[in-house]
Structure 1
Amino acid sequence: MTKRDVFRFLNEPREMPGKVPLALRTDGDWNELYGRFEDRDAAHQADRCLDCGNPYCEAKCPVHNYIPNWLKLVQEGRVLEAAALCHETNPLPEMCGRVCPQDRLCEGACTLDDGFGAVTIGAVEKYIVDTAFAQGWRPDLSKVVPTGQRVAVIGAGPAGLSCADRLVRAGIAAVVYDRYEQIGGLMQFGIPSFKLDKSVIATRREVLEGMGVEFRLGVEVGRDVELDALLAEFDAVFVGTGAYRYTDGGLPGQDLPGVLPALPFLVHNGRIVTGGDTWGRPIAGWETTLTLPKLEGKRVVVLGGGDTGMDCVRSAVRLGAASVTCAYRRDEANMPGSAREVGNAREEGVRFLFNRQPLAIDAGADGEVAGVRVVQTRLGPPDANGRQRAEPVAGSESRIEADVLIIAFGFSPVLPDWLAARDVVSQGNGRIRVGGERRLPYQTAHPKVFAGGDAVRGADLVVTAVQEGRDAAASIARMLRRADAARGSALDAA
C-alpha cells in the first residue's frame, strides 16, 4: 500500500484545468473556457484535501455535498462511486461544477484557501460526473418502488429538474412542462456556452428521461394548458418558473434604441450560438419587442457587477465589440459576482469602472444611445441588507461613450395570473409565498401546489435553485405519503 503524502497540499500546488487560449476567446470561440482534468491530475488535486474533520466546504455548499468523501474516492480511482455519492446530495452536479461561484462557496470556505490555494472542488466535481457518464454510469433506480402517483413540474430549469429527479427516485412519476423548446431554463438560454456547453444539458436530459422523467416542451401553462387541468390530472404540482422580469433602474433614456436588457440579449444570443436563431429578428415575450443589434466594432457598456453582467461583457468580447466596459456602483470587493469571472473578464480585455452610478442615458444625433452619464460614488453606512450604500460624490459626473448599453441590474419573478387565480399569493416583488403555519416547506396556499427556486427566493444561484427543487420534492413525497395513509385509514374504517 502506497503511503499518502500528508504534505501534498504543499508539494502539489492548486491547479485548474487548462484554459482556451486568450486569442481564441476574442474571435468568436464559444467553447467552454476550462478544459477537463485527466485522471492523474484529478487524483492529485483531490489528494490536496486535508480531510480536516470539520468540513467547512460542505457546510458552505447550499446542497451540503459530501465533498471530502468524494474527493477521497477520486484519490483512490473510484470515480463511479464518487459519481453516485455526488448525486446523493446534488441532482445536477455537472452543472454546479461548471457554474457555481466556488470562490464564494465551497472553495472559499476551504481550510487551504488561506494562503495555500483551495482544493479545486468545482473542477473535480465536473471531472467526476463527466467521466462517469462517459463510462456509461447512470443512477441506479433498481430498488425504487413505483407509488402510482404523478406530479406535474412547471419549469425545466434547475429547480424543476432537481425536483423531477428526486420525485422519480421516490417512485413518483414526474412530467415536466416548459415553454421553451429545450430543457435547462437559463442554464440553456441564459448562461453562455463558454461557461456551460449545451451538450452537457443534452446529456442530463438523456439521463433524466432514462430515469423515467417525461418532458412536454414548448408548452406554456396558462396558454396551452390550464393549471386546473394539471390539478385534475396530477396528485401535486411543483412550480419552478424562475425570475425573468428585469430590473431597469428607471433611468431616463433607457428606451432608446441600442439599450438592451441583459436577459433577452443573453437568451437571443444563446439561441444564435446553438443555431436556433439569427441576428436582426425582433424578439417578443419581454416588456417590449426588441431587435438586438450586432456588436461587431461597437463600444459596449454593461451596467451591473453580478454574474449576469459578467456573462454579458464576456459575450460582447466574443461578438467582436471594439471595446467593452463594465460600470458598477460599488468597489470591486463588493461585487456580487464570482471573483473568478471578474478575473476572466479582465483577462479578456474588459475595462472596469468601479464606484460609478448611472444617472441617465444620452441619445446621439441619430436618436440612438450615445453614452451613459454616471456619477462617482463612495461607500457609506450599510443598507437594510448590510451592504455599504453607494453615495454620490458631488461634482463628479462624467459620461461613458457607448454604441450599445446593456442593463444587468438583476431580475425578479412575477406571480402568474393562473397561480393567483388559485389563491397562491406572493410575498412581495412577485415571489411566491411558501411554507408557514400548517404547511410543509415549499407548500403554497394551495395544498397541492408547491414552489421553489428563483420563483420563490428571487434571482439567485443555480445551486440554490437545485437545493430548493430537491427539498420541495421531499415535501411533496411527504404530503403524498400522508394522503396515502389517510386513504388507507378511511378504507380500514369502512
Structure 2
Amino acid sequence: MSKRPMLQFVSVAKETPEKREADSRAHDFHEIYAEYAADKAAEQAARCSQCGVPYCQTHCPLHNNIPDWLRLTAEGRLQEAYELSQATNTFPEICGRICPQDRLCEGNCVIEQSGHGTVTIGAVEKYITDTAWDNGWVQPIAPAAERPESVGIIGAGPGGLAAADVLRRAGLQVTVYDRHDRAGGLLTYGIPGFKLEKDVVMRRVQQLEQGGVEFVLNCNVGEDISFDAIRGKHDAVLIATGVYKSRVMQAPGVGAQGIVRAIDYLTTSNRVGFGDSVPEFESGELNANGKRVVVIGGGDTAMDCVRTAIRQGARSVKCLYRRDRANMPGSQREVQNAEEEGVEFVWLTAPNGFAGDPVEGVMVQKMRLGPPDVTGRQSPEVIEGADYVEPADLVIKALGFEPEDLPALWGEAALEVTRWGTIKADFRSHETSLPGVYAVGDIVRGASLVVWAIRDGREAADSILAYLNQPAQVAAE
C-alpha cells in the first residue's frame, strides 16, 4: 500500500464501503456492508484534514485518537494504526460496525461541517481491526505478572467484557457471571447478525478466555448463586447487567397471543442463527414468516425488529411511531436501510388497543406534533376521530427497556438505586453505595449505547485497580 498525503478531502470524494443490494441482503443475516480494499481505506483515511481541534475525538465517548490512526492508515502503517485504536477501545471492530457514527464522530467531522462529506471513520476503524485479526496482530492477554486479588463481574455484555479485559491485563483474577449460555450480552443476543455477525463477538470472547478470564454461564444471580456469595468470593465486584425489563404497555387487548416483546423476538432470531433449536420459533410464535408484522417504536431496537422480520419472510412489515421521521430516536441510516428492504414506516401513529386473540389488528390513533417537551422534541397529540385498525398477525413491542429491581432480586437492600430504578453510582469512579462494588453501563445510565458501556467498563476497571492497590499503599506507609 502506497503512502498517501493527508488533506485529500478537496480532491477525493467521500466513499463508503459498498452496500449489498436490498434484494440480495434481505434474505440473509450477513452484514450488509462490504470491507474496504487496502487502497480504498488509505484513500478515504487520507481525506482527514488533521484539524487542530479534532471534534471527532472529543465527541467519541472513548475519545479515540481518530486523526492519528487515520494518518497511520493513509501511510500504510496498519499495525501501528490498530495498536493506537486498541489503546482506547477494547472492541474497535464492534464499534466500527454498530456505533451511530452519524451522531458521534462522523457527525462532528470538521470537513463534514464545511460541506465536503465526512471522513468514513467507522468503516476505516472496522477495516483496521479486521486486518489486525487477519494478520494475527490480536493476541490473547498475557499479563506481565499475576496478582492474587480477584474481581467478580456480573454481566457479560460490552461493559463487563471491557472491564474484564483491562483487569486481566493488570494480572487480576477475573470471573464473569452471566445468565445466558453465551457471553456477549446484547452483542450476542440483542443485535442482529446483519449489523454485527456473531463470529466477530465470539472471537473476542475466546480471546478473553484464552487470556485467563473465567466465564460462569447459565448463572442467574439471586437464584443460582447469591449476590452475597459473589461479594464474599471476590475482592471487588462489578455490576454490568444491562437493562432487559421491557417497558409495560397499557392498552385493551395487549395480552393477546401474537403480541410479543422485542427482546424475546430478537433473542430467538439470534439463537436460530447460532443453530440452536428454539421451540418458540419452530411453532411460529416468534417467527414472522408469512405474517403481517407491526412493530411499535422508533428506536434502534425497533429498526432491528423490522429488518429481522423482513429476513424471516414476513408478508408485510410496518413500523408505527408516534412522532415524525425527524424526531425519531433511531439512526436515520437504519431507517433508510429498512425502507430499502421493504419496511413501511407509518409516522405520527400510536396504538390504542388490539383486536382479536390471537391478535388480528392494532387499533391506531393518528397524531400531530404539538409544543416541545422537556427534551426539546415536539410532543405528539392525538387527532380526534382519526382512528383506524391496522391488520396484524404479529405485533412486536419495541418500547424500550427498564432496569430490573436488583436490590429485591438479590436481597441486598443496601444497594442504592435512583428514582428510575437504575443503580446509583459515582459518575467518575462508578462506585456504588456498597464498598468494593461498582456498576457500569445501562444499569446505571438507562438504555444507552454500546460505546458508553465500553467507556464505563474501562473507567470502572481503573477505579477497581486503584481500590485494590490501596491496602498495599497503606501498608507501605
TM-score class, shorter: over 0.9
Aligned pair partner of 2:388 in 392, 398, 402: 398
* Rounded Cα–Cα distance in structure 1 between residues aligned with 2:322 and 2:458: 35
8 Å Cα contact 1:415-1:432 kept in structure 2: no
| Code of the aligned partner of 1:76 | E
Aligned pair partner of 1:382 in 354, 369, 372: 372
* Rounded Cα–Cα distance in structure 2 between residues aligned with 1:291 and 1:443: 44
* Rounded Cα–Cα distance in structure 2 between residues aligned with 1:65 and 1:280: 42
Deviation at 1:281, TM superposition (A): 6.0
* Rounded Cα–Cα distance in structure 2 between residues aligned with 1:211 and 1:296: 42
* Rounded Cα–Cα distance in structure 1 between residues aligned with 2:228 and 2:40: 53
Deviation at 1:146, TM superposition (A): 3.1
Does the C-alpha gap of structure 1 residues 205 and 241 become closer, same or farther in structure 2, counting only changes over 3 Å?
Answer: same
Aligned pair partner of 1:301 in 286, 294, 311: 294
* Rounded Cα–Cα distance in structure 2 between residues aligned with 1:6 and 1:421: 56
Deviation at 1:483, TM superposition (A): 2.7
Which residues in structure 2 correspond to 1:80-229 (within 5 Å)? 80-114=79-113, 115-138=115-138, 144-229=144-229
- The CA deviation string for residues 272-296 of structure 1, in whole angstroms up to 9 with x for no partner, is 12111335369xxxxxxx9724322
Deviation at 1:195, TM superposition (A): 0.5
* Rounded Cα–Cα distance in structure 2 between residues aligned with 1:173 and 1:254: 47
| Code of the aligned partner of 2:342 | G
2:448 — aligned with what?
460
Deviation at 1:147, TM superposition (A): 3.2
* Rounded Cα–Cα distance in structure 2 between residues aligned with 1:20 and 1:214: 38
1:317 — aligned with what?
310
1:327 — aligned with what?
320
* Rounded Cα–Cα distance in structure 2 between residues aligned with 1:128 and 1:393: 51
Deviation at 1:380, TM superposition (A): 2.0
Does the C-alpha gap of structure 1 residues 3 and 24 become closer, same or farther in structure 2, counting only changes over 3 Å?
Answer: closer
* Rounded Cα–Cα distance in structure 2 between residues aligned with 1:422 and 1:36: 50
* Rounded Cα–Cα distance in structure 2 between residues aligned with 1:113 and 1:292: 45
Tell me the SS of whatever aligns to 2:271: helix
Does the C-alpha gap of structure 1 residues 238 and 293 become closer, same or farther in structure 2, counting only changes over 3 Å?
Answer: closer
| Code of the aligned partner of 1:475 | S
Most deviating of 262-271 and 379-388: 379-388
Tell me the SS of whatever aligns to 2:370: strand
Deviation at 1:50, TM superposition (A): 0.8
1:470 — aligned with what?
458
* Rounded Cα–Cα distance in structure 2 between residues aligned with 1:22 and 1:184: 28
The alignment of Structure 1 onto Structure 2 pairs a total of residues equal to 474
8 Å Cα contact 1:58-1:106 kept in structure 2: yes
TM-score by length of 1: 0.91
Question: Are 2:353 and 1:357 aligned?
Answer: no
* Rounded Cα–Cα distance in structure 1 between residues aligned with 2:242 and 2:140: 29
Most deviating of 473-482 and 315-324: 473-482
Does the C-alpha gap of structure 1 residues 331 and 256 become closer, same or farther in structure 2, counting only changes over 3 Å?
Answer: same
8 Å Cα contact 2:351-2:363 kept in structure 1: yes
Tell me the SS of whatever aligns to 1:373: strand
Deviation at 1:395, TM superposition (A): 2.4
Tell me the SS of whatever aligns to 1:280: helix
8 Å Cα contact 1:190-1:270 kept in structure 2: yes
8 Å Cα contact 1:305-1:328 kept in structure 2: yes
* Rounded Cα–Cα distance in structure 2 between residues aligned with 1:325 and 1:256: 19
CA RMSD of aligned residues (A): 2.0
8 Å Cα contact 2:4-2:43 kept in structure 1: no
Deviation at 1:323, TM superposition (A): 0.9
- The CA deviation string for residues 292-322 of structure 1, in whole angstroms up to 9 with x for no partner, is 2432221111111110000000000000011
8 Å Cα contact 2:268-2:281 kept in structure 1: no
Deviation at 1:45, TM superposition (A): 0.9
Among all aligned residue pairs of Structure 1 and Structure 2, give the percentage whose two residues are the same amino acid. 45
* Rounded Cα–Cα distance in structure 1 between residues aligned with 2:404 and 2:108: 34
1:492 — aligned with what?
none
Does the C-alpha gap of structure 1 residues 206 and 44 become closer, same or farther in structure 2, counting only changes over 3 Å?
Answer: same
Question: Are 2:420 and 1:429 aligned?
Answer: yes
| Code of the aligned partner of 1:68 | P
8 Å Cα contact 2:143-2:169 kept in structure 1: no
* Rounded Cα–Cα distance in structure 2 between residues aligned with 1:106 and 1:404: 37
| Code of the aligned partner of 2:164 | A
Most deviating of 5-14 and 173-182: 5-14
Which residues in structure 2 correspond to 1:9-28 (within 5 Å)? 9-27=9-27
Deviation at 1:420, TM superposition (A): 4.8
* Rounded Cα–Cα distance in structure 2 between residues aligned with 1:301 and 1:119: 36
Most deviating of 82-91 and 409-418: 409-418
8 Å Cα contact 1:371-1:399 kept in structure 2: yes
Deviation at 1:191, TM superposition (A): 0.4
Question: Are 2:435 and 1:447 aligned?
Answer: yes
Deviation at 1:458, TM superposition (A): 1.0
Tell me the SS of whatever aligns to 1:427: coil
User: Can you give the 5+ residue segments of structure 2 that lack an aligned partner in the other structure?
Assistant: none
8 Å Cα contact 1:248-1:261 kept in structure 2: no
| Code of the aligned partner of 1:319 | Q
Deviation at 1:432, TM superposition (A): 0.7
8 Å Cα contact 1:8-1:48 kept in structure 2: yes
Deviation at 1:141, TM superposition (A): 5.9
Deviation at 1:418, TM superposition (A): 4.9
Does the C-alpha gap of structure 1 residues 313 and 142 become closer, same or farther in structure 2, counting only changes over 3 Å?
Answer: closer
Question: Are 2:43 and 1:44 aligned?
Answer: yes
| Code of the aligned partner of 1:94 | E
